[in-house]
């Protein structure tokens, strides 16, 4: 899993993407739905998608973009209640980061061989 930089006070730490997905993104989404009185049938577990090699793009960065058109039946006026859902969830993540004075750290990655994927 890639590491994501998370700021904390005047420093930062690294959190794995899946930890942020499960600890911030999914709870944030669920709380926003609840706030607006909405529900979803979407599967909320992350999916791992392995893309096949492309003969068109041999190397370099590739960005995948999807433009979703919103159906009229799903347009709802926003709830006027002001909340700090995202800030509360990110603060919980920040509390798990330990800052070591005079120490610089880089994100950690795990490389798997083809046989263990």
What is the average per-residue pLDDT within 15-28? 89
Please, are residues 93 and 23 in contact by the beta-carbon 8 Å criterion? Answer: yes
What pLDDT was estimated at residue 9?
79
Q: Report the chain's C-alpha Rg in angstroms.
A: 19
How is the chain split into domains, by residue range? 1-46+82-103
Using a cut of 0.75, tell me whether the model's pTM lies above it.
no
pLDDT tens sequence across 63-103? 767 777 888 888 878 778 888 888 889 888 888 888 777 77
Is the torsion defined by CA of 7, 46, 50, 63 positive or negative?
A: negative
What pLDDT was estimated at residue 30?
92
Rounded to 5 degrees, what angle do the CA atoms 43, 45, 48 make?
110
Per-residue buried b or exposed e for 8-19, using 16+ beta carbons within 10 Å of the residue's own CB: beeeebebbeee
């Amino acid at each position: 899993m890639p590491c994501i930089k998370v700021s904390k006070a005047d420093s930062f730490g690294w959190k794995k993407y899946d930890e942020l997905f499960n600890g911030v993104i999914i709870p944030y989404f669920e709380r926003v739905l609840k706030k607006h009185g909405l529900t979803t049938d979407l599967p909320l577990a992350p999916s791992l998608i392995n893309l096949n090699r492309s003969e068109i793009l041999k190397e370099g960065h590739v960005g995948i973009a999807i433009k979703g058109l919103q159906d009229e039946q799903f347009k709802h006026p926003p709830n006027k209640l002001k909340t700090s859902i995202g800030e509360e969830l990110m603060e919980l993540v920040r509390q798990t980061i330990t800052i070591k004075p005079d120490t610089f750290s880089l994100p950690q990655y795990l490389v798997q061989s083809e046989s263990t994927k």
